[in-house]
Amino acid sequence: MVGVIEKNNYNDYVSDFLLGTIEFQKGNHAAAITALERAIAQEPNFPEAFYNLALVHQADGNRLKAIAAAKQASAQSSDASYKALYEKLNESN
CB neighbour list of residue 43: distance below 8 Å, 6 or more residues apart = 13, 49
| Domain ranges across the chain | 2-91
Q: Does domain 2-91 have CATH number 1.25.40.10?
A: yes
Please, is 53 exposed, middle or buried when counting C-beta atoms within 10 Å of its C-beta (0-12, 13-18, 19+)? Answer: buried
Express each pLDDT in 23-78 by its tens digit: 999 999 999 999 999 999 999 999 999 999 999 999 999 999 999 999 999 999 99
Q: How confident is the model at residue 93 (pLDDT cuts 50, 70, 90)?
A: low
Q: Which residues contact 64 (CB under 8 A, 6 or more apart)?
A: none
Q: Among 5-14, 63-72, 83-92, which stretch is predicted with the lowest mean pLDDT?
A: 5-14
Model confidence, pTM:
0.86
| Residue 10: pLDDT over 90 | no
Closest alpha carbon to 73 in 26, 2, 34, 58:
58
One DSSP character per residue, 19-38 reads HHHHHHHHT-HHHHHHHHHH
- pLDDT(92) > 80: no
- Other Cβ atoms less than 10 A from the Cβ of 42: the count is 16
Taking 80 as the threshold, does the pLDDT of residue 4 lie above it? no
pLDDT at position 7, please? 47
